[in-house]
Amino acid sequence: MERQVEFYFDVVSPYSYLAYGQVERICREAGAELVLRPMLLGAVHNAVGITAPIQVRSKASYQLRDIQRWAEYYELPMRFPEPFPFRTLKTMRAAMVGENVESFVREAFALYWEEGGAPKGLEEADEDGPVREVARQIGSDPEEVLERAASGEAKEALKGATTEALERGVFGAPTFFVGDEMFWGNDRLFFVEAALKD
């Protein structure tokens, strides 16, 4: 049976962006399947009582430099979005019900973290332009993608996925599972890689 790495993420998470390309490579080299598990990070934090690091002044200033270090280490382009955090509810719903989830997620990470295209506010409409652009990049109809993202199916899918993440013990992003073993953080990818060799 092919090994799998389940990747719980939200595109608002800079560490998920940092981890994405690395976990793709790890899976490719190990002959393992990467299973994308979109979730809503804000809802996870609220459920487990975690304050986002950006809301703690000393942690926020450290985190910004830490993220830059990791981007340099991975040789990844990064344009830190302004404002941050940005809204991803519609983006993550679209990722749940899209025709090509892998391409959608890849382009969303690139647009939001490399190209300066993240939503510019926290209102629902602020996501429309970026979601349309991701849809265009992957060759999907932008209006159809937005319509699917607003559907009851997408809302329930993301809610269910976030609940499942919490039930499995997820408290932040990125989180990885190899079988029943959980690993949190892009800096634990070494252990993900090792688990695939066991």
Instruction: Return the residue matching tokens 């509810």.
Output: 89
pLDDT value of position 54: 74
Give the strands of the sheet with 33-38, arranged side by side. Answer: 33-38, 4-9, 175-178, 181-184
Q: How confident is the model at residue 1 (pLDDT cuts 50, 70, 90)?
A: low
Q: Is the pLDDT of residue 65 over 70?
A: yes
Residues across the chain: 198
> What's the predicted TM-score (pTM) here?
0.95
Cα–Cα dist 18/68, whole Å: 10
Query: Of 10-14, 54-58, 90-94, which gets the smallest average pLDDT?
Result: 54-58
pLDDT value of position 66: 95
Catalytic (active site) residue 13: yes
pLDDT value of position 51: 80
Cα–Cα dist 45/175, whole Å: 13
Cα–Cα dist 97/85, whole Å: 24
Per-residue pLDDT tens over the stretch 40-55? 999 999 999 988 777 7
- Is residue 192 a contact partner of residue 21, using CB atoms and an 8 Å limit? no
Q: Which domains does the chain have, with CATH numbers?
A: 4-197 (3.40.30.10)
